[in-house]
Structure 1
Amino acid sequence: MFTGIVQGVATIAEVIKAPGLNTLVVRFPEAKVQGVTIGASVAINGTCLTVTRQDGDLLYFDAMQETLRLTTLGDLAEGDSVNFERAARIGDEIGGHLLSGHVHTTAVLAEIIRTENNVTLWFEVPESWMKYVFPKGYIAINGASLTIGEVTGNRFNVHLIPETLRATTFGTAEQGQSVNIEIDSQTQAIVDTLARLGYDRPAPAL
């Protein structure tokens, strides 16, 4: 499990491609790899991956074909920056919301609005996932736990403070890029339960 509180930004040092598998070699800030063991879980841009090898400040992760298909990890190249979070431990503070690291879908950064001390990002999501997106609800974008602002059509926005921009890759985000989305599990459970009970259907005509 993860908390959605990004612990830093790492750099893709190398991508080793094989049929149906990419090995991501990721360079971490030195202090952030202390105590890492083979088999540990680390979220890379919100995707839960397993450490397969360590070489100093380099950690190796295998991303299988299904992961590459469902996330943006297949687009990563040498030199790219990524958000990371090591798995939560019992007793850790939950500053964001509980995440599994299982990406549901991807979204496109459609618009960036910059004002003094704030940045608003608008994302476009596949229509089928918008039923889980509500104003003031939780969502994880590239592994960062964020609060949804406005929702309209198949778009929603988030408002970012300078600290979030500094501590994550959102500070260098560009319009048109794709991001990983993990829907809040509690919201998904409630919406799906109500749908099974028939509460998602239009009211009958009188």
Structure 2
Amino acid sequence: MFTGIVQATCELVALEKRRGMHTLAVSLPAELREGLTLGASVANNGVCLTVTRVEDDRVFFDVMEETLTLTNLGTIAPGDQINIERSLTFGKEIGGHLLSGHVHCQAVVERVTDVGEQRDLHLRLPNEWMKYVLYKGFVAVNGCSLTVGEVFDDGFMLHLIPETLRLTNLKDAVAGTQLNIEIDSQTQTIVETVERVLAARQ
């Protein structure tokens, strides 16, 4: 489990592409490698990946074909910055909302607007996921726990404060950028429960 509070943006320093799988080598600072063991879970752009090897400051992750297709990890390249969060430790503060690290889909940035120090992102989302996106609700974007702004028929707005821009790779988003989306599990459960109840009454 994760909280959606990104701990660092870290560089993808190497990428090995094989049939049906890529291996990522990400350079993590010492504080994020402390206590990190093989088999540990780490969110990369919101995707829960398993540590397969640690060499000096490089941490390695294997990414399977389905994940490469569903998420933006299939299009990253060495030199790109990745949002990193270690898995939740019992007793730690939950500053965002609970995440599984299982990305549902990708959103496309339609427009980026700077409003003073704030930055607004207008995202377009596949239609089947829009029913789970509610004004002032939670959504995880590239692993960041964020509050939904205005909601449209085909997408929604994000209003990013300077601290979010400083700590995450959302500052690099431009029109056409694809961002990983994990829908809030509680919202999804409520919506689907209501749908089942209404369907049963018909």
How far apart, CA to CA, are the structure 1 residues paired with 2:161 and 2:29? 23
Q: Which residue matches 1:176?
A: 176
1:102-141 correspondence runs (5 A): 102-141=102-141
Within-5 A mapping of 1:25-104? 25-104=25-104
- Equivalents in 2 of 1:138, 1:101: separation in Å? 14
For 2:171, what is the secondary structure of its paired residue? helix
Equivalent-residue separation in structure 1 for 2:160 and 2:177 (angstroms)? 17
Counterpart of 1:61, as a letter, is F
Which AA in structure 1 matches 2:144?
Answer: A
Letter paired with 1:193: T
Q: Alpha-carbon deviation of 1:75?
A: 0.3
Deviation at residue 200 of structure 1 after TM alignment: 11
Relative to structure 1, is the Cα distance of residues 200 and 117 closer, same or farther in structure 2, using a 3 angstrom cutoff?
A: farther
> Can you list the C-alpha shifts for 1:26-67, whole angstroms capped at 9, x where unaligned?
111232211110000000000000000001110000000111
CA distance, structure 2, for counterparts of residue 199 and residue 156 of structure 1: 27
Measured in 2, the distance between the counterparts of 1:200 and 1:54 equals: 52
Task: Quote the offset at 1:155 in angstroms.
Answer: 1.3
The residue that corresponds to 2:198 in the other structure is: 198
Distance between the aligned counterparts of 2:131 and 2:40, measured in 1? 33
Corresponding residue pairs, total:
202
Q: Distance in 1 between matches of 2:166 and 2:94?
A: 20
User: Share of identical aligned residues, percent?
Assistant: 51
- Structure 2: which 5+ residue stretches go unaligned? none
Structure 1 stretches of 4+ moved >4 Å: none
Given that 1:6 and 1:167 are in contact with CA atoms closer than 8 Å, whether structure 2 keeps it comes out as: yes
Tell me by how many angstroms 1:115 deviates: 1.2
SS at match of 1:198: helix
Residue 160 of structure 1 corresponds to which residue in structure 2?
160
Q: Deviation per CA, 1:78-105, whole angstroms, max 9, x where unpaired?
A: 1111101000010010000000000001
Q: Would the aligned equivalents of 1:4 and 1:98 in 2 still touch at CA under 8 Å?
A: yes
Question: Structure 1 unaligned runs (5+)?
Answer: none
Q: TM-score, normalised by structure 2?
A: 0.97
Deviations, residues 4-45 of structure 1 (Å, cap 9, x unaligned): 000010111111011100000111123221111000000000
